Amino acid sequence: MPAESLEPIELSTQIPTEADQQHVCTGVGLEGPRPSIIRVLHVINGEHYSGAERVQDLLGQHLPSFGYEAAFACVKPGRFAERRQDHNSTIYDLPMTSRIDLRVARELREIIREEDYQLVHAHTPRSALVGRLAAWLAKVPMVYHVHSPTSLDTTDGWRNHWNNWSERASLYRISRLIAVSNSLGRHMRLQGYRSELISVVPNGVPTSTLRRESKRPSGTWTIGTVALFRPRKGLEVLLESIALMKQNGVSVRLRAVGPFETPDYEAEVQWHVERLGVRQNIDWVGFTQNVTEEFAQMDLFVLPSLFGEGLPMVVLEAMAAGVPVIGTRVEGVPEAIDDGVNGVIANPSDPADLAHSMMRVIEGELDWCVLQDRAIKTHAEHFSAELMAHGVAAVYDEVLGATRVK
């Protein structure tokens, strides 16, 4: 059943929108002082540290600037607690023994009451299930962050179906949905949620402290990619593209940064590497805490996703670091990358088109330095971490009816 909402207020926009789409939150009118900081409990999975977890971590760091203190309850404790940069926010480990382990909701309710959390903010179908029940028991509102289309999140149809059903059940009478891109906002509207329930807050990342030098590459080009590698990220397509470029005499190296989701998938990818004969053209970096240093070593950043992207954090991080981006035409990616203006957009699942897109920059059809400059400006104007936190705080203000000094 579609969720119901509080009445929204009109919001200003920071990125171009279509006439029929939902609100884009980057700030609201702020009329009076708030008596004290408001505490918000984020209910998350926590087993990984990838795009969605990066959003959560940055919100923990930046929300206090807008009057909100974040804490995190992990229902699948793991890498988030170890790798987060925000070490000031409280973190609770409340492991669920299964997808329907609802006992955790009672533990959450006690934490909400004892620590005076005034809002619950869930980020995944699993966390929404217990977060919604806990919020109801504690009589506080809940907002839900839509990071990717749940019905298209993996290549496992049964898992997608279950997560989509769980998400819909958990969002009944939710206070607000936060979508990270206009594309996701439209997706949620097509799922039956009313437009006035949906607020679009684009993802954002900090300004890079180590930027790629403003000099066009020469010689061997380093093609970088960063991800939690899993089937929907399209790594096999990128490998095919590297092989095509190699066959055409183009000198490139692939720098692959990030872990594999499973050993089975890693073995499958390595089989493709051997089949294509590109082992000598790849540097496998694995997981690293300092992604900024990795971007400084890349000449082009490529994210060959097949589907399931909201607004990828790594795309925004590459832009902030001054690395021109080659992305694919999936979900929210074209909302950050304007083809031929501040990056390049390729067709998903098309190795030849992806190779052609890279060659547009390598061969000089598109000016590398111009792409770099425009990418940096696009990030600063639309996708900073501060703008993201401000937008989320604006949603909190609407839900709680709070005001603060501008």
Instruction: Mark whether 79 and 182 lie in a shared domain.
Output: yes
Q: How far apart are CA 307 and CA 28, in angstroms?
A: 33
This prediction has a pTM of: 0.84
pLDDT of residue 212: 75
Residue 133, number of CB atoms within 10 A of its CB: 18
pLDDT of residue 239: 97
Instruction: Mark whether 363 and 391 lie in a shared domain.
Output: no
Instruction: Mark whether 298 and 334 lie in a shared domain.
Output: yes
- Domain at 109, CATH number: 3.40.50.2000
Degrees (nearest 5) of the Cα angle 8, 312, 154? 95
User: Looking at per-residue confidence, does 216 or 21 come out higher?
Assistant: 216
Instruction: Mark whether 227 and 272 lie in a shared domain.
Output: yes
Per-residue pLDDT tens for 255-279? 999 999 899 999 999 999 999 999 9
User: Looking at per-residue confidence, does 347 or 1 come out higher?
Assistant: 347
Query: Within a domain: residue 13?
Result: no
Query: Within a domain: residue 213?
Result: no
Q: How far apart are CA 285 and CA 283, in angstroms?
A: 6
Instruction: Mark whether 296 and 185 lie in a shared domain.
Output: no
How many structural domains comprise the chain? 2
Instruction: Mark whether 249 and 173 lie in a shared domain.
Output: no
Instruction: Mark whether 168 and 225 lie in a shared domain.
Output: no
Angle between helix 351-362 and 235-247 (nearest 10): 60
> By residue range, what is the domain housing residue 138?
23-204+384-400
Query: Within a domain: residue 107?
Result: yes
Per-residue pLDDT tens for 54-87? 999 999 999 999 999 999 999 999 999 998 999 9
SS3 43: strand
Per-residue pLDDT tens for 128-165? 999 999 999 999 999 999 998 876 655 666 766 776 77
pLDDT of residue 329: 95
Instruction: Mark whether 245 and 192 lie in a shared domain.
Output: no
Instruction: Mark whether 234 and 152 lie in a shared domain.
Output: no
Could you tell me if residue 139 is left (phi over 0), alpha (psi between -120 and 50 degrees) or otherwise beta? left
Mean pLDDT within 197-201: 95
User: Looking at per-residue confidence, does 243 or 402 come out higher?
Assistant: 243
Helix H segments across 289-328?
291-295, 313-320
Instruction: Mark whether 299 and 200 lie in a shared domain.
Output: no
The two tokens of residue 257 are: 């940064």
Query: Within a domain: residue 52?
Result: yes
Counting every residue written for the chain, the total comes to 406
Instruction: Mark whether 374 and 389 lie in a shared domain.
Output: no
Query: Within a domain: residue 73?
Result: yes
